[in-house]
Amino acid sequence: MIGFLIQRLIQAIAVVFVMSLIVFVGVYAIGNPIDVLIDPAADQALREALIRQYGFDQPLPVQYVTFLGNMLTGDFGESFVYRLPVLDLILSRLPATLELALSAMLIATLVGIPLGIWAGYKPDSLSAKLIMGFSVLGFSVPTFWVGLLLIMVFAVELGWLPSGGRGPTQEVMGVDVSILTGEGLSHILLPAFNLALFKLGLLIRLARAGMVEVMSSDFVRFARAQGLPERQVVSLHVLKNIAIPIVTVFGLEFGSTLAFAVVTETIFNWPGMGKLIIDSIMLLDRPVMVAYLILVVILFVTINLVVDLTYGQLDPRIRTKGAA
């Protein structure tokens, strides 16, 4: 297990380093933030002073080495627009995005996996066909269109739920949380469901496919031949064997939900990291853009590492092969 862990850690560090180089070069090749920072009528002396202040007069490799050294100490620089440390700025938006992503994945998991298991257990039933039709809808309908439709129906026409914003929050262990109040919960329902719809359809199809495959396997037939109750066959034999692909997709989809909830946060004016990165792109706030993308890379690498370790617990053969 130790060898397996060390191997995965080395791979994770290598991926973060390579991606930091790609992100830095890619972002710094886009536009010139000096044109945004100062008035176009400013004289050349002020322009050159700002270029020197932010280090834009240095060659790109020197800028990258400086950035990498600062990043290793947790310093991602200062936002050009907000005049705040970038890491503090992003972390201040993280609780809102984390709350939205967890709510969306909770909806997708609690609804999608049971529906997928039922659709795979009774694949020829009418209910299974309806469930699969709903999953296709979740895949097919664009997120932005669903968001606008939800606002129009539940906020504008019916007036049941607010159309945007996060609502009031309560501090729990230093973190602002909105779902602990009725008003805060009403604010998160629409964006959470909008963000969960695609994940819901994905988990339904994944659970159904795994269920159909495992139910026709020899060990399930043998368990039934032994006279085990059907509930025990499903819970002990079937669910354990479909757990690995579900864990994989859950981990990756949670990472993508947390990192790329841009459309949902923009439509519902949710004050999270997605809204921040959109504003930063519009204003060419390079430090925020680079730091956000690097943190997304670290997030995905960490999630993949956790998924790999979870694999090792679910199936020891994977752990043995990885350490070989």
**240, pLDDT greater than 80:** no
Query: Which CA distances in Å does 86 have to 8, 82, 164, 262, 293?
Result: 29, 9, 26, 18, 12
pLDDT at 323 (0 to 100): 47
pLDDT at 24 (0 to 100): 80
Is the domain spanning 86-282 CATH 1.10.3720.10? The answer is yes
What is the tens place of the pLDDT at every residue in 274-295?
888 888 887 778 888 888 888 8
**309, pLDDT greater than 60:** yes
The string of DSSP codes covering 52-113 is HHTTTTS-HHHHHHHHHHHHHTT---B-TTT-SBHHHHHHHHHHHHHHHHHHHHHHHHHHHH
pLDDT at 30 (0 to 100): 67
Percentage of the chain exceeding pLDDT 90: 1
Spatial contact of 266 and 274, defined as CB atoms under 8 Å apart: yes
What is the tens place of the pLDDT at every residue in 127-174?
888 988 888 887 778 888 888 899 999 988 888 888 888 878 777 777
Q: What is the CA radius of gyration of the chain?
A: 24
What is the tens place of the pLDDT at every residue in 49-106?
777 777 777 777 888 888 888 888 888 888 878 888 888 888 888 888 888 888 888 8
175 compared with 114, residue with greater pLDDT = 114
Token readout for 73 is 């100490």
**273, pLDDT greater than 80:** yes
What is the tens place of the pLDDT at every residue in 175-224?
778 888 788 888 889 999 988 888 888 888 888 887 777 777 766 676 66
**318, pLDDT greater than 70:** no
**321, pLDDT greater than 60:** no
